Structures are given as structure tokens and as C-alpha cells.
Structure 1
Amino acid sequence: MTVDLTAVVPENSRGRGVFRYYDAADCAFFVAEPSIQPELWHRYLNGAREVYQRFGVEHALEYESVVDGRSTSLFFVALDAGGDIVAGVRIQGPYAAAQQAHALVEWAGHPGADKLTRMIDDRIPEGVVEAKGAWVARDAPNRADLSAAISRTALHAARIRGARYGFATVASFTAGRHQSCGAVPAEGIAAVPYPDERYQTVPLWWDTRSYPAFADESQRSLIQAEQQALGLPAPRPLGNPCASLRTAEDRRGYGR
């Protein structure tokens, strides 16, 4: 079923400042700045808080710090055919310095913190955005597809904001899903117990130039279709993306 955009978007959230596209699960994705679409923003936060509370990690959302929207440059929400928000994520950046990255809070006092700082600093000149507060509704029938769609937003957000790199920290058991969407684990950075000891969290990078070498073919097609729907120009041709970019030399500016 195709979502009727005019039916599911709040009256004060139609039109200006909103990017739109459909994902593989036939949900309507909306992309906006919190100040431009405040109702959608607060609906995203309410959904995030409900999911994070269910897992007992509400503190990781840092609701009081982010609710005003000033630390968020973009947010993505997925609406189903009934108009319910069933997934979302917020984006910080592009950063001017590594110290702005939330990941450094997570790695503070742990091995790898200095290396992660250098890794972010090295990429700052070409642009880094960080995905935070990702969630998917537990009862969504298409949960796996929505989770992949949320992963793809790291690439979309980077391109919308004129950055080369998307960045996120994720639970280690979800890393494979993100890798299928083009993410590469940050090499040499040990996992940390965040937001608590039940989780091992790892940092991932998405490179808007070389992700096709690492993404599954089905995900590459979806990334390209969604970016076309967002009005983003086709990325620079990569020649043979599935061979040469897998070398250690080419990974140096990606996962290393």
C-alpha cells in the first residue's frame, strides 16, 4: 500500500523544509530540521523515549539535552500508512572538531579514545555527520526493512549536509546489518560497554564515495533510489566498486 503523504503528515508539517521518499517497506520517510517541523520532531522524540525506556536505556537518549533540537541538524522519521511514526533517527553535524562527537563521551576513559579522536579529526576537513537516537518500533511488521532503512540514512544525511562521512556507534550485534548498508567498522577501536554493561558498542563509518564497495547489492540499489527521490545528484562513478576499494590502501581513509 502506498502511503498518502497528504493524509499522514501533520497539518503544520507539510511543505517547506521537508525532504520525502519511500523506503523498501513502503513507509514514507520525512527529513527535516527540528525548528522547521516541530510537531514531527516531538513525535520522533516521544517514539524514541518509549523504545529506549522499554530497553531500560532512556538515559542514553539524553532527552533533556536534545529536546530543544539545537544539537540536531536533521532528523528522519518513517510514517506508516496510518500516519504513525514507526522509526526515526537524528543527525548531528557536520562537525567542526572531533570534540563535538558524542562518541568521545562513550569512549571516555576507555582504550581507543585517543585513536577515535584522531580518526574523527582526520575526516573533519571532508565533513562528518553523526547519527544518534535511532529507533524502530518493536511491533512494526516490517522491522528488519525499517532497521536497514534507518542505517541508510547515515549516507543520505551526509550527502544532504555536504559531508563525505556518516558516523555512528551501534551495539555490536547490529553491526552486520549496518555493514550490509555500506558501513565499515572503525579498525583498532575496542568495543565499550555503553549505554550499560549489557551492550558492547562499536563505531562505524559510512563513506559516501566508496560505500558501494562494501554494501550489499540490494542495499546499493535502495540507497541510489532513495537519494534520487531526495533530489541528490548521482555520486561520482567509482569504476569497479567491488574490487579495488577493498584494498588496505583504499580503506585507510574509511575504516582506519
Structure 2
Amino acid sequence: MKVEPIAFTPTEDPGSGMLRYRHADSGCTFLVGPPHADLALWRQCMDGALEVYRHYGSEDALEYDAVIDGRSTILFGIALDAEGRAVAGVRAEGPHQHVDTVHAVASWAGLPGDAAFRRMVADQIPDGVIECKAGWTVRDTPHRRELADWVARAIVHCASLLGVRYAVGVAPDHALKCYRSSGANVAWWIPATSYPDDRYRTVPIWWDMQTYRTVATESQTRLIDLEMAELTADGTRLPIVWARDEGSA
């Protein structure tokens, strides 16, 4: 697979080069696009993630300095509240051409189940795989639950917009219910590990765009459909495309 950028010139209007919709109940605006569509919003997304991860003492897992230039991120989602404050976000890497570039798989090297995890993702790559990371929500908002559910849906949106079949990642036990609500499968045959440290029991997860509806809750599925319709209603296309490289493995 390969990603080919389309010529794009962002304007001064925040998020003008991104797909968006507004959530009436929370008053939040949700946007999805590549980092270069709005570098200021991209930095707000990552700075928000850094603040949350730092609060829990797990900022090393974010790898902020390595990813802040945006080059490794193909899409990110960000939620802005009524005052324009970034209150949630997530980012996606890929589509991956080889299993060695999938960070989640690399993080499992030398651990029980590493061969099984590697084989699973390698088998998925011909149909398109992205890796979703750095999901976060602010802690001081009355809509934290709704925002967490949106982060889970945003992963499905990223995969759908990119036309890949799979999204992969890792998640701690306490987040599994949220991610499963949007269709995530848990790789139950791969032993959990302590990542990023001993406070967490973390397992590999993945979404299959052909079957996620059989796992997702009815409410999340309904919102995924409504939001995707709004994101694509005006025919705007994101300034990226990807094409399958038949030689990839």
C-alpha cells in the first residue's frame, strides 16, 4: 500500500480543510482530517493528549516528540466544545505496508503472544490496516462519557474514510467496553501485558469494517451511520488517498 498526498492549501478558518459535524446535545463540533489540513488543531489535539497522559503518568506511551510533526499520522479526529477548546481526540497511522511498521505489534516483541499478534496483523495488511492511537478526553467536562464514545466511533470513521478494512490497536481493560461499543474485537488468545507499565493490563484489539456491526451496540452503530452521513454530506474529500500496493505483505 502507499499513501499519496493530494495538493491542498489550508485557509485561515480553523478546520476548514477537515470534515466536520456538530453534536447538538453536547454543543461540540467534531472534525476529522490529516494534520496538514490544520496544523494548529493538530497541535491542540496532541497537547490535549499530552496533558491527559501526563496526569496519569503514562506520557511516554504517547511518544509526543516523535509524532508532533504529523508525518506519521494520516488522520486525526478532534472534538471542540462550544468555546473552541479541544476536549477529545485520537489519531491514526497507516495504511501500513508491512507488519514491522505497526507500533502496537512492535510493542509486543518478546512478550507472550507476540508471534500470534504479528501473524494476525500481517494477515490483515493486504486488505488495509490502520493503527489508531492516543485516544483521550478531558477530565473536567460533563460530557466525558459521550466524548469517550465518540473517540471509539472516530476510529471506525477513520477506517471507513480511508477505505481500509481493519483498524488495530491496544487497550487497557478499563477501556474495552467503550471500544467494543463501536465494534472492536479483543484478541483473547493473546496474553495481556503490562503496557505502558504495571498499572495496566493491556490487550490487542481490532475493528473489521465488514463485521464490526455484529459487535457494536445499536446506539453506537446508529450514531456511526448518522455521523458518516454528515461528514460526507457536502461531497468534500479529504486531501489524502491511498492505493493498495499488490506487492505488500
Q: Which residue of 2 aligns with 1:208?
A: 209
Contact 2:171–2:203 (Cα < 8 Å) also in 1: yes
Aligned partners of 1:32, 1:220: CA distance in 2, in Å?
21
- Aligned-pair CA distance for 1:36: 2.2
Q: Which residue of 2 aligns with 1:97?
A: 98
Q: Which residue of 2 aligns with 1:252?
A: none
Q: Which secondary structure does the structure 2 equivalent of 1:35 belong to?
A: helix
TM-score relative to the length of structure 1: 0.83
Q: Which residue of 2 aligns with 1:86?
A: 87
Contact 2:11–2:17 (Cα < 8 Å) also in 1: no
Q: Which residue of 2 aligns with 1:220?
A: 221
Q: Which residue of 2 aligns with 1:229?
A: 230
Percent identity, aligned pairs only, is 43
Aligned partners of 1:44, 1:62: CA distance in 2, in Å?
14
Q: Which residue of 1 aligns with 2:39?
A: 38
- Give the AA of the match of 2:130: V
- Shift in alpha-carbon separation, 1:127–1:28, aligned structure 2, 3 A: same
Q: Which region of structure 1 is more displaced relative to structure 2, 203-212 or 23-32?
A: 23-32
Contact 1:13–1:37 (Cα < 8 Å) also in 2: no
Equivalent pairs counted in the alignment come to 223
Higher strand share: 2
Does structure 1 residue 57 correspond to structure 2 residue 58? yes
TM-score relative to the length of structure 2: 0.85
- Aligned-pair CA distance for 1:15: 6.0
Alignment deviations for residues 124-152 of structure 1 (CA, whole Å, 9 cap, x no partner):
01111111111100011111111011011
- Give the AA of the match of 2:129: V
- Give the AA of the match of 1:164: R
- Aligned-pair CA distance for 1:66: 0.3
Q: Which residue of 1 aligns with 2:195?
A: 194
Q: Which secondary structure does the structure 2 equivalent of 1:132 belong to?
A: strand
Contact 2:73–2:91 (Cα < 8 Å) also in 1: yes
- Give the AA of the match of 1:120: V
- Aligned-pair CA distance for 1:204: 1.1
- Shift in alpha-carbon separation, 1:59–1:217, aligned structure 2, 3 A: same
- Aligned-pair CA distance for 1:13: 4.5
Aligned partners of 2:171, 2:188: CA distance in 1, in Å?
14
- Aligned-pair CA distance for 1:12: 2.5
Structure 2 unaligned segments of length 5 or more: list them. Answer: 1-9, 234-249
Contact 1:44–1:88 (Cα < 8 Å) also in 2: yes
Task: Report the RMSD for the aligned CA atoms in angstroms.
Answer: 1.7
- Shift in alpha-carbon separation, 1:26–1:167, aligned structure 2, 3 A: farther
How does 1:150-165 map onto structure 2 within 5 Å?
Answer: 150-165=151-166
Alignment deviations for residues 6-31 of structure 1 (CA, whole Å, 9 cap, x no partner):
xxxx9734465311123464421111
Aligned partners of 2:174, 2:14: CA distance in 1, in Å?
37
- Aligned-pair CA distance for 1:174: 1.2
Q: Which residue of 2 aligns with 1:18?
A: 18
- Shift in alpha-carbon separation, 1:13–1:190, aligned structure 2, 3 A: farther
Q: Which residue of 1 aligns with 2:242?
A: none
Aligned partners of 1:55, 1:167: CA distance in 2, in Å?
23
- Shift in alpha-carbon separation, 1:11–1:96, aligned structure 2, 3 A: closer
Q: Which region of structure 1 is more displaced relative to structure 2, 47-56 or 101-110?
A: 101-110
Structure 1 unaligned segments of length 5 or more: list them. Answer: 1-9, 233-256
Aligned partners of 1:15, 1:90: CA distance in 2, in Å?
15
Q: Which secondary structure does the structure 2 equivalent of 1:144 belong to?
A: helix
Aligned partners of 1:167, 1:138: CA distance in 2, in Å?
25
- Shift in alpha-carbon separation, 1:222–1:71, aligned structure 2, 3 A: same
